[in-house]
Structure 1
């Protein structure tokens, strides 16, 4: 692994409208040692063309194409090509503030941290409205994360020299399952309570998506994590409470 290099993992599907802005937010980083591995996941639109144009202009942006297999396998494909000691996750419609990597790396090094996440704000689909600051707890253990929603994917930075190899699971909440797998090894995730990411809110039916999310969270607890019904119920109650509190207002 290249010691100071951050490998950025970005799955992209139907992302032509936003991926260019996402890439530009990475190019604006004050920490310049990065590679952005964008996996175009068999998208039917012009996503790959937008990525290709950026990759041609900046060799740190790397286009990887695959037949549609979903975000978990797209993330795994990027991980298989990653050269950096540090792994960051950035979804194709989210944005980083310019000092995100520099400040988060310094935070991790001060604490000898293997895994960190940050505060963030939501933005509307067109980016015209920015929401309130969503703060994060200082630490997250395996048991705490089971019933929590504190870790937003596009804020995560991992030192894989400390965690060991990262392996995605093909499931709806593949990112959440990965965080649990890392913390189950005994690591603690450290929350950096600084505003460093913008989460873009998309979708026509928010209520329908919430109900689907709730069903998939339950399935994750029972079928993927392997919790018994009582433990799954307790974790689900915590998850629902934290999700409501986190997103109770924009």
Structure 2
């Protein structure tokens, strides 16, 4: 009998038959030996079902198929509901785990923290940069911005206790979940190692609808703004204006961004407006 805790790896996918094998292989190749893989196909119209069937011929994979798309949050919640693992670890269908990701995250898990994450390598247009996150990400940190990223390792019962992903949100669903986890269970621990590749230059559609992103983020902001102080609200609104293309000068940036985050935003502005030119 396996003495290791069971980890349920959950991949939600839609029309990514060309990219899905990379994500699946990165789960199957983990050095940690007690993983169940759950793949939720959220209404794909390409060859995704054929890809999953090919893997099922050689590997034990739990496959769930939505004939019509139910959306990213419903698909993720389906994975959580059908999981048997003590721990849940999510993976986007266009990203990939490093071989020791689950082993290292488990070694660093502590119940005094809500969950555990890692540094990510962000890859776009044949360039990559490592996102070096804080070692401990607090509730206060999260009310400024999503400093966790898109995936964590967390106990399944904690996800169930807070109601899983909010299916009413069209954007910032993972960010919303981290805030609720952190509020209830404490800060989020980050392993200061790069354990995941996050690809940002993929042109095919994600599960979420890009047209809904702004209204979805506004809904997220309204949901949590009562928890935020003045500086946090101002920074959130700055990022919304930035996404709308309404921040037209570095002087406007200086007026909106809190002092503790100003240098970061100035560097980002310079990179976006001058170094990339």
Give the TM-score normalised by the residue count of structure 1.
0.82
Query: What is the DSSP-based 3-state SS (H/G/I as helix, E as strand, rest coil) of the residue aligned with 1:108?
Result: coil
Cα deviation for residue 81 of structure 1 reads: 0.2
Residue in structure 1 matched with residue 153 of structure 2 by the alignment: 157
Range with greater deviation from structure 2 (13-22 or 225-234): 225-234
Residue in structure 2 matched with residue 15 of structure 1 by the alignment: 16
Q: In angstroms, what is the RMSD of aligned CA positions?
A: 3.2
Matched, 1:122 2:91: no
5 Å-filtered alignment, 1:125-204, equals 129=126, 131-154=128-151, 156-161=152-157, 165=161, 166-170=163-167, 171=169, 172-204=171-203
Q: Is the 8 A contact 1:147 1:238 kept in 2?
A: no
Q: Is the 8 A contact 2:122 2:129 kept in 1?
A: yes
Residues 48, 202 of structure 1: CA spacing in aligned structure 2 closer, same or farther, 3 A cutoff?
A: farther
Q: Which runs of 5+ in 2 are unaligned?
A: 243-256
Cα deviation for residue 13 of structure 1 reads: 0.6
Cα deviation for residue 234 of structure 1 reads: 3.9
Residues 221, 32 of structure 1: CA spacing in aligned structure 2 closer, same or farther, 3 A cutoff?
A: same
Residue in structure 1 matched with residue 226 of structure 2 by the alignment: 227
Q: In structure 1, how many angstroms separate the alpha carbons of the residues matched to 2:142 and 2:227? A: 17
Cα deviation for residue 123 of structure 1 reads: 2.5
Cα deviation for residue 52 of structure 1 reads: 2.1
Matched, 1:100 2:101: yes
Structure whose CA Rg is larger: 2
Q: In structure 2, how many angstroms separate the alpha carbons of the residues matched to 1:136 and 1:228? A: 23
Q: Is the 8 A contact 1:8 1:89 kept in 2?
A: yes
Cα deviation for residue 56 of structure 1 reads: 2.6
Q: Is the 8 A contact 1:120 1:199 kept in 2?
A: yes
Q: RCO greater where, 1 or 2, for CA within 8 Å and sep 6 or more?
A: 1
Query: What is the DSSP-based 3-state SS (H/G/I as helix, E as strand, rest coil) of the residue aligned with 2:148?
Result: coil
Q: In structure 2, how many angstroms separate the alpha carbons of the residues matched to 1:22 and 1:246? A: 30
Q: In structure 1, how many angstroms separate the alpha carbons of the residues matched to 2:107 and 2:5? A: 11
Q: In structure 1, how many angstroms separate the alpha carbons of the residues matched to 2:227 and 2:193? A: 36
Q: Which runs of 5+ in 1 are unaligned?
A: none
Query: What is the DSSP-based 3-state SS (H/G/I as helix, E as strand, rest coil) of the residue aligned with 2:32?
Result: coil
TM-superposition CA deviations, 1:89-145 (whole Å, max 9, x none): 100110001010111110115x754401110112247xxx35121111011222211
- The count of aligned residue pairs is 239
Q: Is the 8 A contact 1:119 1:135 kept in 2?
A: yes
Q: In structure 2, how many angstroms separate the alpha carbons of the residues matched to 1:176 and 1:228? A: 14
